[in-house]
């Protein structure tokens, strides 16, 4: 696994054009996505340029005017609150550890990225695309591909199911649009990622972060520092705050401030590898010192599990072969999951992982 550049340097592919002084870390930009749907070519070029800069610099940006309604955003938060307010034993009856495709409830403190505490102070609920029992992905044991579990103890079980399934469908469409823009940032055709977007295995994760205790250790984390291992993540966060992204040049953490109606988009390790390390999959974490509970909903999109990831055209370094051998989405994610869940890594090691997609 070759490290290509030190974590204290900026991505060599990125040349900062803005007037922000080098030593003041910039927050991920908030980008108006409406140009995607407009027929104003100049506005679309501007959108593509902003997304390219964000992918090169931190691999994080927020989007507004993306076409997903605030009604749906509010509706899914309401269902999430409803589920997490159930008694613990009712939630634990849906434990994903006992589900054949790892869908359902993720226990409080069951993940532990930094391995300094009893575990990350959050609980979750995984929902995939609800597949029919005879879908080949079930037999093939594809990650997160199966029949969902839907809690029957929530106030309106039919509404819970309708809302999470609708949200999953709409976020799948949004992920495809974001990928169209990413294709344009790389000077590829807008529909370049279409084969990758066929028969996908995306999963959403309702997350609930209880407030951390006022006397909690300084190592308490809602979610410890990590990179996402898939293609792209599209995250909805409530107004509480606590999400932070790593700024490699200053080695500091920057708040990803809640922006009403916005989604946070970040690139995962798969996208970094696919782009030959041109685009960044960055470290991020959540610390909830607000004294309030926090809710968020990441949607992890990694395309078709059988799709072969080979260096994207134009991402090769001049005169050099691509850094990484071709690999299927499925094999890449299985390998990364093993890495991420088995080992506790210090920040040094984690931040080098953020820069190395191998």
Ligand X SMILES: O=C(O)CCC(=O)C(=O)O
Chain residues 163-182 in contact with ligand X, contact rule CB under 6 A: none
| Residue 52 interacting entry, from ligand X, Fe ion, none, C-beta within 5 to 8 Å by type | none
CA atoms within 13 A on the CB side of 200: 26
Rg (C-alpha) for the chain, rounded Å, is 20
Residue 303 CA, distance from chain mean position: 13
Confirm if 332 and 273 have CB atoms less than 8 A apart: yes
- Kind of pairing, strands 60-64 and 30-32? parallel
Q: Which stretch binds ligand X (CB under 6 A): 6-14, 88-96, 235-243, 335-343?
A: 235-243
Chain residues 201-220 in contact with ligand X, contact rule CB under 6 A: 205, 207
Question: Does the footprint of ligand X cover residue 311 (CB under 6 A)?
Answer: no
Q: Which member of 56, 182, 186, 223 binds ligand X (CB under 6 A)? A: 223
Residue 150: CB minimum distance to Fe ion, A: 24
Comparing CB distances to ligand X, the nearer of 189 and 239 is 239
Q: Which stretch binds Fe ion (CB under 5 A): 185-193, 214-222, 224-232, 288-296?
A: 224-232
Question: Does the footprint of Fe ion cover residue 228 (CB under 5 A)?
Answer: yes
Comparing CB distances to ligand X, the nearer of 201 and 235 is 235
CA atoms within 13 A on the CB side of 63: 25
DSSP-based three-state secondary structure for 130: strand
Residue 296: CB minimum distance to ligand X, A: 3
Question: Does the footprint of ligand X cover residue 284 (CB under 6 A)?
Answer: yes
Do you know the residue count of the chain? 358
Residue 207: CB minimum distance to ligand X, A: 5
Neighbours of 10 (CB within 10 A): 17
Question: Does the footprint of ligand X cover residue 108 (CB under 6 A)?
Answer: no
Question: Does the footprint of ligand X cover residue 275 (CB under 6 A)?
Answer: no
Across the beta sheet with 263-267, what order do the strands follow? 30-32, 60-64, 263-267, 232-237, 294-301, 203-209, 123-128, 104-106
Q: Cα–Cα distance between 44 and 275 in angstroms, integer?
A: 22
Q: Give the binding site for ligand X (CB under 6 A).
A: 205, 207, 223, 228, 235, 237, 243, 284, 286, 296, 298
């Amino acid at each position: 696994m070759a490290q290509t550049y030190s974590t204290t340097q900026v991505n060599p592919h990125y040349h900062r054009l803005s007037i922000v002084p080098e030593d003041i870390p910039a927050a991920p930009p908030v980008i108006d996505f409406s140009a995607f749907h407009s027929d104003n070519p100049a506005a679309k070029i501007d959108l593509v340029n902003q997304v390219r800069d964000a992918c090169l610099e931190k691999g994080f940006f927020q989007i507004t005017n993306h076409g997903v309604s605030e009604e749906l955003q509010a509706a899914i938060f309401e269902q999430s609150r409803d589920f997490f307010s159930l008694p613990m034993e009712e939630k634990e009856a849906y434990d994903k550890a006992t589900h054949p495709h790892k869908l359902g409830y993720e226990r409080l403190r069951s993940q532990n990225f930094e391995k300094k505490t009893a575990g990350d102070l959050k609980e979750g609920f995984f929902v995939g695309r609800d597949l029919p029992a005879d879908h080949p992905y079930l037999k093939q044991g594809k990650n997160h591909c199966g029949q969902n579990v839907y809690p029957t103890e929530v106030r309106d079980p039919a509404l819970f199911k309708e809302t999470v399934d609708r949200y999953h469908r709409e976020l799948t469409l949004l992920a495809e649009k974001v990928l169209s823009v990413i294709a344009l940032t790389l000077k590829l055709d807008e529909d370049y990622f279409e084969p990758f977007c066929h028969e996908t295995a995306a999963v959403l994760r309702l997350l609930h972060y209880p407030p951390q205790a006022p006397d909690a250790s300084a190592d308490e984390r809602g979610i410890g520092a990590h990179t996402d291992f898939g293609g792209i993540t599209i995250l909805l966060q409530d107004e509480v705050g606590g999400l932070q992204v790593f700024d490699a040049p200053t080695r500091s953490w920057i708040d990803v401030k809640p922006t009403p109606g916005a989604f946070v988009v970040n690139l995962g390790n798969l996208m970094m590898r696919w782009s030959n390390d041109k685009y960044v999959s960055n470290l991020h974490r959540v610390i909830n010192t607000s004294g309030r509970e926090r809710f968020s909903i990441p949607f992890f999109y990694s395309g078709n599990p059988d799709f072969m990831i080979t260096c994207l055209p134009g991402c090769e370094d001049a005169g050099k072969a691509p850094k990484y051998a071709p690999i299927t989405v499925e094999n890449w994610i299985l390998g990364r999951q093993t890495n991420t869940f088995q080992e506790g890594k210090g920040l040094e090691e984690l931040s080098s992982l953020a820069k190395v997609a191998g």
